[in-house]
Structure 1
């Protein structure tokens, strides 16, 4: 029996003479009557050659341009340049997984030139294609090729039969559960077995009965799978049984005369199909956008997960990744499912291999690939190869590279400590990995907490695993040479030495860093920490030495703070340019009042005068303008109007009354992406993505304002969902939480208890002003600026509850302030 094509395939219905398959047809010389067509063909060929050269230049500059490869292969196939075409396909497949249609085209082109000698090479092509995607069409093409070109299969030899049965059994779980196309695999399998039955001698009753039972078993298995057109399969089965002399009531649509097990399985399959028919209809619509189709695939996958059949879930994931091969979200979801259900096995590592080839720019996939290899007890050589390959990829942030390095170190450490390891690993591998990470990441992540975490981990392993104290110190010393402005790094270095009991070494580190300049109050903090350190660990001489070193440094820092706080705030140049009349008006007012102000009042700021007048219960006085001419009065009014119009616009204040706070955002996230992410929640009013002040780069944080609490609650329900490759954290923004009334209070028990509203009003008076009597007695007032409590002023002796009525209120100088404390 001749079996050249027992599996139907839409891709093989192509006309051999059509231009769609130029390699199969070869070049056909034009007739003399077709000169115009020949000229047109020449122009097309010249244009194609020009495009090919352009694409070759692009691919030479960027070999990771997927679209350029697709276009390049298409043009080479059009001009039938087989040698270049093979090279292009090999180059692309080394970087990316090819789509099922591209593998089918490649195999067809090679099969058109095939002979019995190169069948193994084409079989290898099909196997490579199936390792990328489990496609029904690709499986059908593969099986049909063997039926047509493999002599052992075509001749039904024992080896050929065994080979085909093995392939069909592989194809059934991979493609036979495809609801709308799986019938093609089952029918092909059955027809192949029927072909074998036709070759068995009718006299060999035993062998024929055995083969008939094999075909019957395939029918029964087919009827138990929820596939499209199962009623046709039932009719075919009854007709086949009738040929074998068994009447199953071919006129009816049920299987009442079949065994209860088969009838029950078929009934269940029909019920399962009825539940999936509408889902199949949703994903098969032609007018769907990619986004809509992707979402419907995910809905289908979620439905299969609820059914609890891992085989069907995996089959749906395979259909989805074949449809959306470069969807990182889909690959992440798929591999997470495999990690959860299968735990270990080649299926998981193979899925990760395909995922990282499809989406090499997702660091999380590479990280979990390394972990999957470790769980599967892969060799160090295999894990190292994957790690090195991951470092050649381009990620969206350096945090992803850091995560890869840390994962690699974690794996090396665990395998070094494992008693189950056959291979012996040396600690130098960990040290080399850390050094490579530091060299690569330091220029890009200098002075960041993430880089500090890497080096802290390194020093910890140098001590515990490497048993090398000098190596740990070397790590910190090298890090501080480049990131010496990080106070936390100095603290970590000192804490390591203190933890090890190396007090002298810790003291020497304090001596190195106490004069350094750190952000915020860090310079003061390191001085105070040194004094605390000497109290806990040092002798009296050590403490005295630290005080001697730290005291002038703290005084220097205090004076610097005072100068910074007392420096006048210069008006913006843009405001001066926009309000020239305002400046002139202020000068006129200053000139009119200069004689009325005493020499003492000239030293007070405008804010001090206002508070002084308010404290005495007087209303603010308006400068006398009786002596000013009418023209000047009109000009002043005009100046006032223009000044009010030219007031600087106050920055918008966000109350965050109905706002979600987003963290762990991808740095690629934009407002439109966030709006789409919350599309199903609705109610988004505005979006604020936070950026670093220095670099302008996104911080991975954002605020999203919603119209009401209902929409906000729906948005918070998406917490920990995947968004642009990362699990996003969503919480309600509550700016009032944690705020405290930081105020200095007077002596307790002094009897100066006041109404809360009065205290609040008096807290508004600036430090250094005369204020009210309650303030002079030590009432509550708000701290403004940094270290404002150290501003020299009237010093109240301990135990005093009030000052004398005529006490000198003149602020004392810094020298007088010091002398009061140094007086013996």
Structure 2
């Protein structure tokens, strides 16, 4: 079978291309099968559902008319395959799948209801009127942005087909639809902003708004109120929009959607429903190890057959996208797979076959990862959390009782620098040895060295901690030292405790010197970084000063500013009138609206476009305006500031 498309756009194009060549009944049926696959892949896509319903309806119409060009045999079979009931049922199924997409669900609804009304126009049956009345009533109780248009269309429908019941029916529907109206109004702000961003082609803003909208919608659904069920449906509808649109290939949004479903509504109690969601998620984001891991875990929770879960693992490892971002995604997926194998083998009802499968599967997983890391060379050092090894060690310890092989795996890991320098690794190793020691029971003989005093000591666990504190490059030696001292005090012989104290004393001194060196290096680094920041800031300030000085010199050359001062006149009179006269007679570059008032005089600042115009204004110096004398002076060497409004 050919590789199937992924994503709404590609599915629509793919089916449309096949539809172009569907010139006989067999090919038309094939197109229907492709539409079924498209719906399975994109069950909440308005575009896919519309294309599917429109095509099926066209087949119904063509099967009824000889003018369609179909043969008699094709029309006969077509009437069975593409019946009216099947067509109408498909429209309803499509609507129910997308009804909570409040922004565009009307696109499919409007087509469906127009077909229903067109058929009623020819029959005008009471049953048909009741059916469409029910459809409108139901629709108006679902939030959607075109609810006013829907209400108007319903009103017109009643006026035409059931005028006597118009008032009673509209009152009842209005009362029932108040919740939907309120929910729609609460979301109008987001919808308006999204439409505006889309119309202006601002994709980044659109994505940011959609993320904000999703977060807000999720918060609404968590609130315990009378709208809880409706807001949950709306949140799923919004995720449907995002995951068939702008975030179709965004693994972060898919993961958030899965988390939302797993903690709310019927999906929380329906692992099978979650399996379908995760199947679509890995199709859209095959590079995400987190999604593959969740897919396997959910399939196990849904109790799918082993071969189906194994097929998920095979599908993951055979997809090259899983490897494009390094080993992390592969390890995430294999951690889930190995966890599944371990749990299946350790189940109380496990069969010998389950244990054999776990034996082979766990070893194969470790080998596969070991081989896969070769493609990354030195850039991959290993899984810091050694997840697969932990699972295998637990399996060997608890199920197989093979302590020697499990301990050998610990030794093998301890030889690698990634783990040997990790306090977390050594503490886990130590705790495992303590668990083995505790589970061995008192019936086992003590070690020969302690037999004389009859004391059982966890000498192997002690050795693990002793080996750890000798690492000069351990990331948190202080923590391991504390555990080592406490362990020896709790479990070891006096001689061992004495040796531990002496060892720790020297180790603490070495660690203190190491911390001093690290602190000095850190201080040196931050000092250098701070000096660079200051140097950059000084350079930027110098550039600003140079720019300001250059701008001032240029302004002095090009313009002059004059002061028009009216003496012995009330404010807002002579000086402002003179400034007005200057404006009317000269070509002003900028008018300084602010005035300076002092000692019953007023100063107005006027800036001209050219020095010549400023010189012309100076001729008014000493002139009278009414009873007030005007003083006009050049305003050279002034500092002008511009403020943003």
State the TM-score, normalized to the length of structure 1: 0.47
Distance 1:314 1:516 in 2: 51
Q: Confirm whether residue 130 of structure 1 aligns to residue 39 of structure 2.
A: yes
Distance 2:431 2:168 in 1: 80
Aligned to 1:651: 525
Q: CA deviation at 1:409?
A: 3.0
Q: Confirm whether residue 337 of structure 1 aligns to residue 260 of structure 2.
A: yes
Alignment deviations for residues 527-567 of structure 1 (CA, whole Å, 9 cap, x no partner) = x979x9799578x9xx79x99xx99x98xx989x99xx9xx
C-alpha change, 1:267 and 1:322, in structure 2 (3 Å) is same
Q: Confirm whether residue 450 of structure 1 aligns to residue 385 of structure 2.
A: yes
Any residues of structure 2 matched to 1:476-515 within 5 Å, and which?
Answer: 476-479=410-413, 488=426, 491=430, 494-495=433-434, 498-501=437-440, 504=447
Distance 1:247 1:402 in 2: 69
Aligned to 1:166: 89
Q: Confirm whether residue 428 of structure 1 aligns to residue 351 of structure 2.
A: no
Number of aligned residue pairs: give it.
456
Q: Contact between 2:102 and 2:237, CA under 8 Å: does it hold in 1?
A: no
Alignment deviations for residues 637-681 of structure 1 (CA, whole Å, 9 cap, x no partner) = xxxxxxxxxxxx94325999xxxxxxxxxxxxxxxxxxxxxxxxx
Q: CA deviation at 1:108?
A: 2.0
Q: CA deviation at 1:395?
A: 6.0
C-alpha change, 1:427 and 1:328, in structure 2 (3 Å) is same
Distance 1:650 1:333 in 2: 42
Q: Which residue of 120, 126, 140 maps to 2:29?
A: 120
Aligned to 2:402: 468
Aligned to 2:57: 147
Say which is worse superposed, 106-115 or 313-322, in terms of deviation: 106-115
Q: Which residue of 234, 258, 262 maps to 1:312?
A: 234
Q: CA deviation at 1:496?
A: 5.4
C-alpha change, 1:191 and 1:427, in structure 2 (3 Å) is same
Distance 1:558 1:335 in 2: 52
Distance 2:447 2:382 in 1: 27
Q: Which residue of 124, 142, 165 maps to 1:225?
A: 142
Q: CA deviation at 1:385?
A: 1.8
Aligned to 2:101: 178
Any residues of structure 2 matched to 1:760-779 within 5 Å, and which?
Answer: none
Q: Confirm whether residue 384 of structure 1 aligns to residue 307 of structure 2.
A: no
Q: Confirm whether residue 365 of structure 1 aligns to residue 291 of structure 2.
A: yes
Distance 1:368 1:535 in 2: 42
Distance 1:228 1:654 in 2: 58
The alignment's C-alpha RMSD in Å is 4.7
Q: CA deviation at 1:281?
A: 1.5
Q: Confirm whether residue 273 of structure 1 aligns to residue 184 of structure 2.
A: yes
Q: Contact between 1:361 and 1:394, CA under 8 Å: does it hold in 2?
A: yes
Q: CA deviation at 1:258?
A: 1.6
Distance 1:181 1:521 in 2: 60
Q: Contact between 1:116 and 1:150, CA under 8 Å: does it hold in 2?
A: no
Distance 1:92 1:405 in 2: 26
Q: CA deviation at 1:337?
A: 0.8
Distance 1:535 1:105 in 2: 71
2:134 is paired with a residue whose SS is helix
Distance 1:112 1:449 in 2: 54
Q: Which residue of 394, 407, 410 maps to 2:323?
A: 394
Distance 1:345 1:463 in 2: 31
Q: Contact between 1:148 and 1:154, CA under 8 Å: does it hold in 2?
A: no
Distance 2:432 2:180 in 1: 67
Q: Which has the higher helix share?
A: 2
Q: Confirm whether residue 520 of structure 1 aligns to residue 520 of structure 2.
A: no
Q: CA deviation at 1:318?
A: 0.7
Q: Contact between 1:176 and 1:182, CA under 8 Å: does it hold in 2?
A: yes
Q: Contact between 1:395 and 1:401, CA under 8 Å: does it hold in 2?
A: no
Q: Confirm whether residue 355 of structure 1 aligns to residue 272 of structure 2.
A: no
Distance 1:321 1:222 in 2: 24
Aligned to 2:545: none
Say which is worse superposed, 367-376 or 270-279, in terms of deviation: 270-279
Q: Contact between 1:405 and 1:433, CA under 8 Å: does it hold in 2?
A: no
Q: Contact between 2:346 and 2:399, CA under 8 Å: does it hold in 1?
A: no
Distance 1:467 1:313 in 2: 49
Alignment deviations for residues 482-534 of structure 1 (CA, whole Å, 9 cap, x no partner) = 679569287467545533447559768989998999522989999x979x979
C-alpha change, 1:351 and 1:312, in structure 2 (3 Å) is same
Q: CA deviation at 1:441?
A: 4.8
C-alpha change, 1:355 and 1:457, in structure 2 (3 Å) is closer
Q: Which residue of 360, 363, 367 maps to 1:439?
A: 367
Q: Contact between 1:370 and 1:383, CA under 8 Å: does it hold in 2?
A: yes
Alignment deviations for residues 425-479 of structure 1 (CA, whole Å, 9 cap, x no partner) = 622333334434433556676587522x643443232222223334434434554
Alignment deviations for residues 301-358 of structure 1 (CA, whole Å, 9 cap, x no partner) = 3444415322221111111112221122211211111111121244322221222222
Distance 1:509 1:216 in 2: 77
Alignment deviations for residues 61-120 of structure 1 (CA, whole Å, 9 cap, x no partner) = xxxxxxxxxxxxxxxxxxxxxxxxxx9xx4362xxx23x232222222222221222222
Q: CA deviation at 1:299?
A: 3.0
C-alpha change, 1:164 and 1:335, in structure 2 (3 Å) is same
Q: Contact between 2:271 and 2:299, CA under 8 Å: does it hold in 1?
A: no
Distance 2:463 2:344 in 1: 40
Aligned to 2:627: none
Q: Contact between 1:182 and 1:227, CA under 8 Å: does it hold in 2?
A: yes
Can you give the 5+ residue segments of structure 2 that lack an aligned partner in the other structure? 66-77, 221-226, 449-457, 518-522, 531-645
Q: CA deviation at 1:197?
A: 4.2
Distance 1:276 1:372 in 2: 33
Q: CA deviation at 1:124?
A: 1.9
Q: Contact between 1:476 and 1:493, CA under 8 Å: does it hold in 2?
A: no
Q: Which residue of 151, 169, 173 maps to 1:258?
A: 169
